[in-house]
Amino acid sequence: MKFNNVFVVDDDKIYHFLIKKLLSSNNIEVSPFFFENGLEAIDGIKDKLDKGENPPDLILLDINMPVLDGWQFLEEYKKIKEYIKKEISIYIISSSDNSMDRNRAKEFEEEITNYYLKPMTSDAIKSIFAI
C-alpha cells in the first residue's frame, strides 16, 4: 500500500525529529503531519473530511500523551470511522512493552494494523512502508 499523508501523533518533539530523519534517510516520500495529542489528530482528520480532503493513509500513534491519549484517540476514531471512505492504517508506536497495553491493543484489532516499540528503527519504518 502506498502511503502519502501520514499523521504522527506523539507529544515528544525529539520523536517527531527522528521520524523525519528516518523517512528521509530511507527515501520515503510522504507528507507527514505532526500532532502532540490525540485530540489534535482527531480534529485534523475531521478538518480534512470537512474540507473534502483526503484523510491520512497512515497514523503512527503513541499511547501515552496529554489531553487525549492513544486509547482515547482510538475510541474517538471508532466514532468517526464510518464517515471515512478509505482504510487508514494505524500503527501503535509506544515505549510500553507492558502486557496490559498489548492486550488492550487487541480490543482495537479492527483499527490497529500493528504495534511497534520505540525507539523506531530503519527496519521498522521499512516494514511499515513495505520497502
Q: Which domain, by its residues, includes 47?
A: 5-20+28-54+62-128
User: What local confidence, expressed as pLDDT, does residue 23 receive?
Assistant: 95
On whether the CB atoms of residues 127 and 105 are closer than 8 A, the answer is no
Give the total number of structural domains in the chain. Answer: 1
What pTM was computed for the model? Answer: 0.95
pLDDT tens-digit readout, 50-91: 999 999 999 999 999 999 999 999 999 999 999 998 999 999
Count of residues in the chain: 131
Q: What is the DSSP string of the chain?
A: ----EEEEE-S-HHHHHHHHHHHHHTT---EEEEESSHHHHHHHHHHHHHTTPPPPSEEEE-SS-SSS-HHHHHHHHHHHGGG-SS--EEEEEES---HHHHHHHHTTTTTEEEEEESSP-HHHHHHHTT-
Strands 89-94 and 112-117 turn out to be parallel
Hey, which residues does 44 pair with through a beta bridge? none
Give me the CATH number covering residue 16. Answer: 3.40.50.2300
Q: What is the CA radius of gyration of the chain?
A: 14
Q: How confident is the model at residue 131 (pLDDT cuts 50, 70, 90)?
A: low
pLDDT surpasses 80 at 108: yes
> Which amino acid, one-letter code, is at 70?
G
